[in-house]
Amino acid sequence: MSGVGKILVFVNLLFSVVVGAFIIMVYVARTNWVATYHELENRYKAQSAELETFRTDAQAARDQGSKDVTTAQAELKKIKDDLAVKEGQLKALTDQLTAEKEKTTTGTASTVAVQEESLRRTEEMKRLDVQIKTLTDQRNASLIEQNKLRDRSIAVEIENKTLKDRNNQMALQLENMGKDNIRLRNLGGASGGGTMTAKNPPLENIEGIVTKTDTQSGLLTLSIGSDAGLTKGHTLEIFRLSPNKYLGTVRIVDVTAHEAVARPTSRPTTPIQQGDRVASKILGS
């Protein structure tokens, strides 16, 4: 083969390669264009769907806006109507207030007269209060004096009964002493010392009550003890205030700081009870 033929073959081969390359490029370009077309078509559809959705939402918003505007206009009309009613009420109240002010101005003189009458009555009530307080103080003083007189009467009555009881006891003692003297003279003896019924009251005036009684032993528990000045051997007068009654004398047989135990020196005229009073002297309270 000549050189020209070789060149032609080479050129033909080169042309074939170039044509094949162009065919491949066209195929690749066609394939890419189709994919791009489909992608763009899908985007277009998506954009169209979104646009339709937006149009639907916009229409719904416009419809809702129209409804809201209608509702707002109705509410505004209602508010205006209410405002008109309130303005009418305000005007009526203003007219009423003006009329009341005129009445008040007219009745000022009457009000002053009423105030003066009220002040006069207040002063009168103050004077009556002073008189009532004076009468109340006088009544209280009278009651206090009556209570004092009643206490004195009770004390005198108890003292009288005490003296009467003492006289009876002394008469009995004198009778017993006379009998003892006769018996001693008959026996040729002499009379002895003191008696257990002799009284020995505390030096200080003290008072207490009977807190407990023992019917079997005859012992009494008293509410006062050595802290009040009592010692064993002291005697106290015992009496009752309701009703007033003198019960006799008791002798202290045991004593502690705050209470004492006593025994009657003679048989009481009435059984001693819890709550009966004891004192060194009947008239000492």
Model pLDDT for residues 3-50, shown as the tens digit of each residue? 777 787 888 888 888 888 888 888 888 788 778 888 888 888 888 888
HSE-up (13 A, CA, CB side) for residue 94 = 6
Query: What are 222-257's pLDDT values in tens digits?
Result: 999 999 999 999 999 999 988 888 899 999 999 999
The pLDDT, as a whole number, for residue 249 is: 93
CB contact at 8 A, 209 and 278? yes
pLDDT for 180 equals: 61
Write the pLDDT tens digit of every residue in 190-225.
334 444 557 899 988 899 999 999 988 899 999 999
| Single pTM value for the model | 0.36
- Cβ–Cβ < 8 Å for 206, 227: no
CA dist., res. 224 & res. 228, Å (int): 6
* pLDDT tens figures, 45-84: 888 888 888 888 888 888 888 888 888 888 889 998 988 8
pLDDT score for 223: 96
Distances (CA, A) of 16 to 7, 21, 25, 267: 14, 8, 14, 168
pLDDT digits (tens, 9 = 90+) for 151-205: 777 777 777 776 777 677 676 666 666 666 666 555 544 334 444 557 899 988 8
List CB contacts of 223: < 8 A, sequence separation 6 or more.
208, 209, 210, 211, 259
Beta strands at 260-264 and 277-279: parallel, antiparallel or unpaired: unpaired
Reading the block at residue 248, the tokens are 């006799």
Question: Can you spell out the DSSP letters for 111-131?
Answer: HHHHHHHHHHHHHHHHHHHHH
pLDDT value for 182: 62
| pLDDT value for 18 | 87
Pinpoint the alpha helices (H) of the chain.
3-106, 108-187
